[in-house]
Structure 1
C-alpha cells in the first residue's frame, strides 16, 4: 500500500470523475484543486468567501464546475475557463440563509433557502424558476434528479414541497421556465425521496408513525402502490412493549439495488424486507439474530465469521470463530430514540450481488448477504463500533469498513481471507471514502479529517497516471500566457501543458467597483451575470419580484 503526504485542507471533496480533489487552504480564502494521483501538485483559485463562512464544496456531475457555499454567498468556478466566475449573493437575507446549493445539470444550479424557497438557475441565460415551499426539515434532501433520462430530453427534478399542511410531489423538467410541469398531493409527512437507478420508479418514505409510510410512483408522477407499516390491532394493545411495535411503525430507510431489480426496506425492529421492482411484492425478509448458528451445515457451506482482536502492542488481526457465535451487544443509550433503533445501515455492492448491513443492537458487527441465495455470505466482528460501510465503486467483491479510528479494513468477499487493516497514520477523527475512479485505474481512498487529508493507494499508485492528467512539475505562474490562444483548461494546467493565466491589471476592488457602477444602470431583478467576460443582456421584461427577495447572481 502507498499513501500520499499529509496535506492541510478544509472541506476536502473528490470530484465525480475521481481525478480531482478540491479543498480550502487553511488560513487563506483560497481553493486548491489537486490531482488524485499527485495531490502535492495543485492549482489555486481565490475565493470571495471568508474561511469561517464556507459550509461546503459541491462539484457538478461532469466535474467541470465547483460551487463554494456559504449562508450568504455561492461562488461558482468554471474549471474549463478559469477566468469565468459566477456569484450568487443572498442580499439582505429576506428569504433566510442558503441551506444548500447543488448542480442538477452542467449549467443548472439549484439553491434552497432555509425557509423553504428554492430556485433553479440557468448559469448561461441568467433566468430562474421559483419552486416555493420546498421541504427543508428532512433527514435527506427533499429532491432528486431522475437518472438515465431519455435521450434528447432534459433532466427531470422531483421535489417534495409542503403547503397548508399537505405534501406535494412536483415534477420539473430542468431547463424549462414553467413553475412545475406536474404536481400531485401525497398523503402523510414524507422525509426522503429516491429514484430507482433506471429512472422508472420513485419512492417516497414517510416519518416513523406516518400511515401509509411508503409510496411508489411511476416516472411520470402517477401513484402505483403504498405500504402501511401499522397494525391496527396492535395499536390498541396497551400492554404491548414499545420495542415490540418497532416493526409496525413504518419503514426506516429505502435503498434501491444498482441494477434496479430489488428495493430493500429497513425497519425499526432490525428486519429487512426485499421487494421485487415489477409488482413490489415480497421476495424475502432478513433478520439479524443475536446468535449466529449454522452448525447444521457442512463447514464449507457455513458463512465465515471473522472477529478482530487488538494486541497490547496495537497490532490488529482477525481470527475465524466457529458456529454458534453470539456477536457482542452494543451499549444502549439512556435516551434512545426511534431513529437509533433497528437497522443502522444497509448498502448494496456496485452490481447488486451483495448487501451489507448493520444492526443498532450490535454495532460492531457487519453482515454480508448474498442476494442470489438470500443467505449470509460472511459476518465480520470489529473491535469497536462500525461508523460507515463503503463498497468499492467498480469491484463488487471489495468492502471497506470505517470504524472512525483511522484504519481502513478491506474485505474481499470471495477470497478465503480475513479483512486486511490498512493504517492511515492520520490523527484525529478520520473519515474514509472510495474515490470514484474508473475501472481501468487503480483504486484510491480519500482519508480526511476536519483540517487535513491524504490519499491511499491500496494497490499502489497507477503507473500510467500521467495520461490521466497528472503533471510532473509545478506550474510556472510567471511563464508567458497568451490570452485567447486556446481554451483555458484546469487539466492542462495540472498536466503542465499550459501555464496559469496572470492576474488582470485591475485589482479585485476595482473590478467590484466597476460592477456596482454597472448595476446602477439596470433593474435589481434577480438574474445572472458572468462577472469577468459576459455582458449584460437586455431586460427580460417585467418580472414580479418578492419584496423580501433581493438575491442577485453576478
Structure 2
C-alpha cells in the first residue's frame, strides 16, 4: 500500500547547488580550532619538521636553519638576494611548508549532537540527515542548524537520500513500513506498507521518483512510483540489500533473481520499469553484482564457497571468467576503480588482485604478509603513545601563546603520533579458528581513491593494519599500523586523502605527503564510524550516541611550483 499526501505538488524542482567548501570552516558552530602536528605545540613541531630536511647534516646554527641548510633541503641554490635575508627566508619557507604539506591538518570540530540511528549527508552536500529515535532531523551542513524536523511512526532503522537531494526515505522495519519526506514541500508525505509480506530493505531509483522495496524472505521486489502511485513487482529477488545495481546514467537497472536453483540477471528500464531482458549466469550462489563505471559491463561474483568472478555484457554474453584458484574460500570483496579501467578483487587467501578492462587479465597481485622486508619504497607509520613535552624556550613566541597551548594539552599528558618504522618489520596478525564459520581472514575492506591511483585494503587477519597500494607504480605506498582494530576508513571524494578511525578519540589521516594522528578536542568522544561529505569539505564523525562534524581544508595542488621570493 502506497499513501501519498499532497502528491500533486511539483516533483521536478531541483535543489540549489552546494555552497563552496571554503565557507565551511568559517560557519561551523562552536568551532574548536586546532593546528595538529603531533602532540607538541604547532610551531615547535613544524620547526622540527623543517629541520628533518637536514638529517645527517650540520646545517643549523644554534638550532636555526642556515642558507646552506636551506639549499640542501630544497636541493637547489638560493638567489643571491636571499643571502643577506636568511632569517626572513626561513620564515617564508616555514609557512610555505605549512601551507603545502600541513594545511590538511587545519581542522575545525563542532560540538556534539545526539543521534540514535543512521546519519548521512545529502548528495548535493548541503544537508545532513540524523535519526533520533522516531524523529528525522535535517540540518544545514554549514551551520548545523535544524532546517526540517519530521516525525515517523516508529524508531528509524535506515535513512537514504534521493539522488536529487529533494526527498529522503526512512526505513521503519519494526512496523514494517517506509516513510518518505520532501524538503521542498514539508507538507508532502509518503508511506509504503507491504502488509504481511514485510519490508526487508528499501532504496531510491536514480530518477528520485521511485522507491524499490524488497519483502521479507525475498519473495518479491516492488517498484513504487511517487508520481502516479503505480507499482511493479519482480518475483524472487536474490538478496534484500544486495543484488541490485544501476547504470551510472540512471537508465537501466540490473536485478538478481533466483528460480529453479539458478541465478538470473534481469535488466529493467528505469523509465518504464519493463524487463528489457533476462539471462542466466554461471554461478553456484551469486553474491552480488555491479555495473562498470562506463556502463559497458556487469561484474558478478560468486559466494565464498567457490572462487568465481564473471564479466558479462548487457546483452548476456560472458566476456570473461576469472578463477584465481579452486580449493579454499574464494572472493570476499570486489570494487571497480572510478575510472573504470581496473577491477580489484580481494580474496580469502589474503591477496588483492587487479584486472584490467581491456583483456580482463590480472596485471597486479598484492600480498598481505606479516613480515615486510626491503627493498621497499613504502613508509611504515606506527601509532605510538607519546608523553607531552612542551619546551618552547627556543622559540620566539609570547607568554600568552605558551599559556594557551599548555591549557589545551590533553589530560594525562599523553598523546599519540605516527612513528616511521624501519624495515624489516613484523606486523601483528591473528590466526582465525579453524572450527568457526566466516573466518576473520582475507581482504574484507578495500576502496579506491578518487583518482584511481591508490587503493587501500585491510586483511581481516590483521585488523590493525591498513595497506595503501600505488596502482601507477604497482607497489606498496604505505602501511598504517594502528593500536586498535580499524573500524572504518574512507577516501576524500575530492583528492587522494584517507581518513580512518579505530574506536578511539583520535582521527588518523594519510595522503601521499605523509600521515598524522588528530586528537578530537571533545571529552569522552570516541569515533566508531565516519563519512565524507560529497565535496570533501566536511567529515561526519559518529560516537555511540552522538556525532560531530569536522571541517577539513582542501589539499593544495602538489603540481603547483612554488616560486622564489
Same fold (TM over 0.5): yes
What are the residue-to-residue correspondences of 1:101-500 with 2, within 5 Å? 101-116=203-218, 117-136=220-239, 141-149=242-250, 155-178=251-274, 180-187=275-282, 188-210=284-306, 213-231=308-326, 245-246=327-328, 249-294=329-374, 296=375, 302-311=377-386, 313=412, 314-330=414-430, 332-333=432-433, 335-396=435-496, 398-413=497-512, 415=513, 417-423=514-520, 425=522, 427=524, 430-438=527-535, 443-459=537-553
Q: Distance in 2 between matches of 1:114 and 1:130?
A: 14
Q: Gaps (5+ residues) in structure 1?
A: 150-154, 232-244, 461-554
Q: Distance in 1 between matches of 2:305 and 2:154?
A: 42
Q: Distance in 2 between matches of 1:168 and 1:250?
A: 21
CA separation of 1:330/1:384 partners in 2, compared to 1, >3 Å: closer, same or farther?
farther
Greater relative contact order (CA < 8 Å, ≥ 6 in sequence): 1
Find the partner of 1:60 among 159, 162, 172: 162
Contact persistence 1:90–1:98 (CA under 8 A)? no
Shift of 1:331: 6.1
Q: Distance in 2 between matches of 1:177 and 1:266?
A: 34
Q: Distance in 2 between matches of 1:136 and 1:181?
A: 21
With normalisation by structure 2, the TM-score equals 0.70
Q: Distance in 1 between matches of 2:470 and 2:325?
A: 29
Which residue in the other structure is 1:99 paired with?
201
With normalisation by structure 1, the TM-score equals 0.71
Shift of 1:288: 1.4
Q: Distance in 2 between matches of 1:424 and 1:267?
A: 38
Shift of 1:23: 1.6
Q: Gaps (5+ residues) in structure 2?
A: 1-106, 388-411, 555-565
Q: Distance in 1 between matches of 2:111 and 2:202?
A: 32
- Which secondary structure does the structure 1 equivalent of 2:237 belong to? coil
- Which secondary structure does the structure 1 equivalent of 2:463 belong to? strand
CA separation of 1:15/1:408 partners in 2, compared to 1, >3 Å: closer, same or farther?
same
Q: Distance in 2 between matches of 1:223 and 1:209?
A: 21
Which residue in the other structure is 2:129 paired with?
22
Find the partner of 1:75 among 179, 182, 185: 179
Report how many residues are paired: 418
Q: Distance in 2 between matches of 1:100 and 1:370?
A: 36
Contact persistence 1:408–1:432 (CA under 8 A)? no
Give deviations 1:81-139, integer Å, cap 9, x for gaps.
22211211233x1x2344334344211111111122111111101112111100126xx
Contact persistence 2:140–2:147 (CA under 8 A)? no
Q: Distance in 2 between matches of 1:338 and 1:8?
A: 34
Give deviations 1:405-444, integer Å, cap 9, x for gaps.
242101122x1x43232326364663333432426xxx21
Shift of 1:377: 1.1
Shift of 1:455: 0.6
Matched, 1:6 2:105: no
Over aligned residue pairs, what C-alpha RMSD do you find? 2.2
Q: Distance in 2 between matches of 1:282 and 1:59?
A: 36
CA separation of 1:190/1:200 partners in 2, compared to 1, >3 Å: closer, same or farther?
same
Shift of 1:9: 2.4
Q: Distance in 1 between matches of 2:266 and 2:297?
A: 15
Give deviations 1:328-354, integer Å, cap 9, x for gaps.
223645754345211232211111001
Q: Distance in 2 between matches of 1:82 and 1:378?
A: 48
Contact persistence 1:393–1:434 (CA under 8 A)? no
Contact persistence 2:529–2:543 (CA under 8 A)? no
Q: Distance in 2 between matches of 1:173 and 1:62?
A: 19
Matched, 1:86 2:157: no
Q: Distance in 2 between matches of 1:221 and 1:195?
A: 13
Q: Flag the structure with higher helix content.
A: 2
Contact persistence 2:166–2:182 (CA under 8 A)? yes
Q: Distance in 2 between matches of 1:330 and 1:419?
A: 26
